Structure 1
Amino acid sequence: MYTAELVEASTSNLVTKSNLLIEANYKLGVVEQKIILCLASNIQTSDSDFKTYTLPIKQFTNLLGLKGKPKYTELKQITKNLMQKVFEVRIDKKLIQVSWISYVAYNESEGTVDLRFDPFLRPYLLELKREFTSYRLENVVKLKSSYAIRIYELLKQYEKIQERTISIIKLREMLGAEDIYPAYGNFKQRVLLPAQKELKKKTDISFQIEEIKVGRRVEKVKFIIHPEKKKKTDQQLSLFESQLEEFQLPNSFSERVKKLGLQLGIQLSNEIIQSWEKFGEENVLLLMEKMQERTDIANPIGYITTVLNASHAKSQVASTSEDQMFLPYLISYFRKSKESYPNWFIVDKAIEELQSQFQLEPDEANSAFQKIKSELFEILGVAEHSSEQLSKEAASQKKMELKEILAQLKKSQEK
């Protein structure tokens, strides 16, 4: 049995959402987003279940920015469309699609509308103790762009860290903008810069953009987050923020690892994170950051554990230097296939991988490989031979072997 409660659509209400929900992929119009946030702002910290929220339609339409007298037809179409839209959240290897709203009723004689969240959203909006983000509704109701609202939430989540780096591909997914403005320049002009202008003018945060390039291509953007001058807040918000300090530790190792895990599509338990901590916090964070652009890793948790163990076996020392990641990476790469490769192939392919994965110049990749060559061959059980000039016949044979090996390697990675 659901409890119905008449609530006020007030901009001073506090919106509190699970970080996992903020990280989810979805595309909603600006009015649809405001409906969700308006409902979320009426959830109390003591609520153990969703209520049916009853909102005065006149007040509701004003809050949503709909002009003139309450328009039932327009509002009914908006909520109908909203009930048909889903968001996606990935938990372990399961991709879940769920509707935001499960129930809407218009009380035309009373001038009110009843709305209720889908029950699946309980763990993301109710009784949140950790890993959540809070902000006042007034910070988003004045925003005119749905992208600005989403960017505000994504940056508010990292406000205390003061920066957030997101790949262009992932950012498009989070904003529901995969199929528009394919050129980065247009995406920046039509999405990022207007959101930057709106947030600075209308919210409690602003941001600057730093572009991270690979060659000439912009692969990631780093948002530098700045707090804007806050208006005087009431005692309730001050008390709530002080209580958040107990649970929100965005600068902690555990929090940072969980956030990186979510970006990889995995939810990490405290036990797993504690098992990685002994390898050095920076080593774990560095490895997970390097994995963000990888799409070939089927089991991220297993991969991280394997690489960390291999690195630990080599040095027994936690290190933040990139060159100590070369050996474990190459070990993991060549062990993906059960095929045994000749000496010359491993040399060529290892140098190629170091160039591609660690952005090294050819001479740098060759120098780095020579330092770890003996140890790599020993671990892989490959005999190390001195280099010798190949005859034309041997070179031709090597070329044929290379084609065959590459085909085998590709086949093993597709499994």
Structure 2
Amino acid sequence: MWSSELVEVNQSNFVTKSNRLIEANYKLGAIEQKIILCLASNIQPTDSDFKTYTLPIKEFTSLLGVKGQHKYSDLKRITKELMQKVFEVRIDKKVIQVAWLSYVAYNESEGTIDIRFDPFLRPYLLELKREFTSYKLENVVQLKSTYAIRIYELLKQYEKIQERTFSLSELRRLLGAEDIYPAYGNFKQRVLMPAQKELENKTDISFDLEEIKKGRKVTKVKFIIHSVTKSKEEQLRLFEENLDEFKLANSFTNRVKKLGLLMGVTITDEMIQTWEKYGQENVLLLMEKLQYRNDVENPIGYITTVLKASKASEESQVELVSQDQMMLPYLISYFKRSKEPMADWFIADEAVKELQKHYSMELDKAVAKFEEIKEELFKELGVTVPVTKSKEEIEHQQQEIEELLKQLRLEKTV
């Protein structure tokens, strides 16, 4: 039987979430997010399993900002819809979709609500030892915009690093805003600027925005993150007391080490010096890009491989962390997971399929890309480079496989 605990609705409680959960793909409304965060704020560091949290409905609706004479029925509708929503997280080669909540009950005679997290969320909210972010619940409950809440968490994660850069496509994905305000100007005015105002007025961080352009087009945005202190005097005192730390925080070495810790690895000074010759900006952009990846088992080796393959130059700084540069290291990591020997034809076919699947490439482009990198790929895997197959041969082979699968399916239905 699950344990139940009556809890107070307390804005001073801390929310502690795994960074992987913060980076997960999901779209929730502002009230739905606040429900999840309010529950998370009641988890204690000593908890080894989820409890059924019982909250007073009156205080709960007040905290969530649910108002009006129909607030109880509105809350029932909101929790019902929330139970039908999922978040998506990638683990190795699996994309897992999981509901946030497993149980909601309204105790009408007592004026309380029982809520329980889905068990799958355990590793993202319980007994966290590393790669997590904590903040006070009071920093998000006053926010009106769902985008402001998401941006707050994404930036709070990087508060000590003091900046974070996103490509526009990545930022839209993380905010669940892929299909709205397609023009950057509208996206900035309707999503980014209101969030900037809300965070500055209502939370413990604020940000400035820098636009990174390719030609005339904005392709990336850099958030410069500021910690909000209670007074200028306190800010000056903290600065004077921690002057050396402030200097170190802005150094390239320290920023690399902090990004490494977010990935769960410790990076030595010697390794950082080796990377630095490829350009500090290149290294930082690549490491920020890796924050979205959980299929890389050896981040240090991966970064080294990408930097070497890039042959960093002033002309290739922007392309360094593009998908194109990621493909060879990704395939090396993909095939090295298997300890079994693999035939060259199997590697070739699997590589083309994986490029199509993982990078959403058309067949002809995947084949062309494989032809570019196959020599280095086979060399890394210790396989003799095979005789090149033509595009027509690969297409023909794939058609044969598809026909065979179709035939097998038909036989199953007979």
Report TM bin, short chain.
0.5 to 0.7
Q: Which residue of 2 aligns with 1:280?
A: 274
How many residues of Structure 1 are paired with residues of Structure 2 in the alignment? 318
Distance 1:251-1:114 versus aligned 2 partners, 3 A rule: farther
Q: Distance in 2 between matches of 1:159 and 1:256?
A: 11
What amino acid does structure 2 have at the position aligned with 1:143?
Answer: L
1-side partners of 2:314 and 2:109: how far apart? 68
Question: 2-side partners of 1:323 and 1:307: how far apart?
Answer: 19
Q: Secondary structure at the match of 1:280?
A: helix
Give the corresponding residue for 1:111: 111
- Partner residue, 2:156: 156
Matched, 1:177 2:177: yes
Gaps of 5+ in 1: 232-244, 260-267, 339-378, 381-404
Alpha-carbon distance in structure 1 between the residues aligned to 2:294 and 2:160: 32
Is residue 256 of structure 1 aligned with residue 259 of structure 2? yes
Corresponding residue for residue 219 of structure 2: 219
2:285 match: 289
Q: Deviations over 1:222-281 (max 9, x none)?
A: 0001111248xxxxxxxxxxxxx9xxx99564541465xxxxxxxx6649x78x948834
- Whether contact under 8 Å (1:26, 1:88) holds in the other structure is yes
Structural mapping, 1:1-400, within 5 Å: 1-68=1-68, 71-230=71-230, 251=254, 253=256, 255-257=258-260, 259=262, 270=265, 277=271, 280-282=274-276, 286=282, 289-290=285-286, 305=301, 308=304
**Structure 1 pair 299/89, CA: closer, same or farther in 2 (3 Å)?**
closer
- Hey, what's the Cα distance between the residues in 2 that align with 1:80 and 1:118? 14
Using structure 1 for the length normalisation, give the TM-score: 0.65
Q: CA deviation at 1:167?
A: 0.8
Residue type at the aligned position of 1:256? L
- Between the aligned partners of 1:408 and 1:291, the Cα distance in structure 2 is 35
Distance 1:155 1:330 in 2: 25
Whole-Å separation in 1 of the counterparts to 2:287 and 2:85: 31
**What TM-score does the superposition give when structure 2 sets the normalisation length?**
0.65
Distance 1:185 1:313, change over 3 A: closer
User: Structure 2: how far apart are the matches of 1:156 and 1:184?
Assistant: 24
Measure, in 2, the Cα distance between the counterparts of 1:331 and 1:47: 41
Q: Give the aligned residue type for 1:139.
A: N
How many Å separate the matches in 2 of 1:278 and 1:305? 12
Q: 1:142 to 1:323 in 2, by over 3 A?
A: closer
The answer for the alignment partner of 1:234 in structure 2 is none
Tell me the distance in 2 between the aligned counterparts of 1:17 and 1:310. Answer: 30
| Contact 1:147 1:195 survives alignment (8 Å) | yes
Q: Distance in 1 between matches of 2:160 and 2:298?
A: 31
Q: 1:60 to 1:19 in 2, by over 3 A?
A: same
Give the match's secondary structure for 2:182: coil
User: What is the alpha-carbon distance in structure 1 between the residues aligned to residue 21 and residue 137 of structure 2?
Assistant: 17
Identity of aligned residues (%): 62
Relative to structure 1, the CA distance from residue 322 to residue 98 in structure 2 (aligned partners, 3 Å threshold; closer, same or farther) is same
SS in 2 for 1:165: strand
